[in-house]
Amino acid sequence: MNQVQNSVTLIGNLGKDPQPINTQKDDTTMISFSLATNEVYNNKQGEKVTTTQWHRCVAFGKKAEVIKQYAQKGSKMAVQGSLRYTRYTDKEGVERFSVDITVNDFAFLDSKPEAQSA
């Protein structure tokens, strides 16, 4: 393993419609969306337990435009990207940290309704 990589792949559902973020100085479109993934396991009593993790994804340019146009709350998507850690100070002066996934590639996984099929 000679190569160091920052790569993450998720399959999940959007928690709400993609949200625009302030446009970059060069007018590049930028959006964010939350993606929910589920982990299922059996507890000590043998009961099935599902836990949900929420991931904040950020997309730029053409990718952002396509996601904004076609994705909506509940859409199932596969996202491939890289982790980005950010440190910032909030309005109260408290230092905070956030983790975003910068989208490098994506796929819509919902099947088309029959009325839209070719």
Answer yes or no: is 96 within a domain.
yes
Number of domains the chain contains: 1
Average pLDDT on 28-32 reads 91
CB atoms within 10 A of CB 110: 13
User: Is 74 inside a domain boundary?
Assistant: yes
Q: Does the residue 69 lie in any domain?
A: yes
Place of tokens 């053409």: 62
Q: Do the domain assignments include residue 115? A: no
Highest mean pLDDT among 15-24, 87-96, 107-116: 87-96
Q: What is the pTM of this model?
A: 0.81
CATH number at residue 31: 2.40.50.140
Structural domain contains residue 24? yes
pLDDT at position 35 is 98
Domain membership of residue 77 as a residue range: 8-41+48-110
